[in-house]
Structure 1
């Protein structure tokens, strides 16, 4: 299930590790962005299926609003990855859910697979236990 994924993460080592995991799983990482403006520019330039969005970026806690905009305005499937899952406890319209960091490779794989299956309209009768789904 090859998909085009954008990593929105301001910590370079975390972004790099995530890129390696996703590429090992056969996905194409179209880029990484450390702030909301860079992320919006990448989405305008490229086709993006899934965005993994941190909440605290280099321009502040802009990830929540960025994820909402990407999902509602750009049709991107959004999965939050953050060490602060309480910041999106109530859910964010149009987005799938939140994966707490740090997350191991298996948790990333199952959460990404789940999100991409939902994007494609495939049946998903389970959610990975590490993934907190939004209503």
Structure 2
């Protein structure tokens, strides 16, 4: 099995670098950091397995749109990490859920572990702090 890849969509570089280090420590392969929609769509061409997406980015509140596009158009499992979870109160089609920032270093590994399991249809034992969107398993199952 290949190492799952993760896209970080975050405009605060210290936060993004910390996420990247945490992902690498947990055995995941970051594909890059995007601070805005343009860069996120460039990196989406790598077809990351998982994306951690903030809502408010350098180009404004584009995170929800980026998350929807990654989930629906690229088959990426998206978890929003945001200080503004109320922006996503009703959920975003094609995405998995939302976690309030800040979240701890160990939480990042648990979130991505869960996202990888969710890609196979396993939504059991979600990590503490995640609010899942919808009640049915997202259609992330991969061959």
Pairwise TM-score range, normalised by the shorter structure? over 0.9
Note the residue ranges of structure 1 that are not aligned, 5 or more in a row: none
SS at match of 1:86: helix
SS at match of 2:58: coil
> Over residues 87-127 of structure 1, what are the superposed CA-to-partner deviations in whole Å (9 max), with x where a residue is unaligned?
00111111000011000022212111111101133x34211
1:125 aligned partner: 124
SS at match of 2:78: strand
Q: Distance in 1 between matches of 2:23 and 2:16?
A: 10
Trace 1:48-87 onto structure 2 (pairs within 5 A). 48-87=48-87
Trace 1:98-113 onto structure 2 (pairs within 5 A). 98-113=98-113
Runs of 4+ aligned residues of structure 1 deviating over 2 Å after TM superposition are: none
SS at match of 1:72: helix
How many residues were matched structurally?
133
RMSD, aligned CA: 1.2
2:6 aligned partner: 5
TM-score w.r.t. length of structure 2 = 0.89
SS at match of 1:47: coil
The question of whether the paired residues in 1 share the 8 Å contact of 2:47 and 2:75 is answered with no
The question of whether the paired residues in 1 share the 8 Å contact of 2:47 and 2:74 is answered with no
Note the residue ranges of structure 2 that are not aligned, 5 or more in a row: 135-143
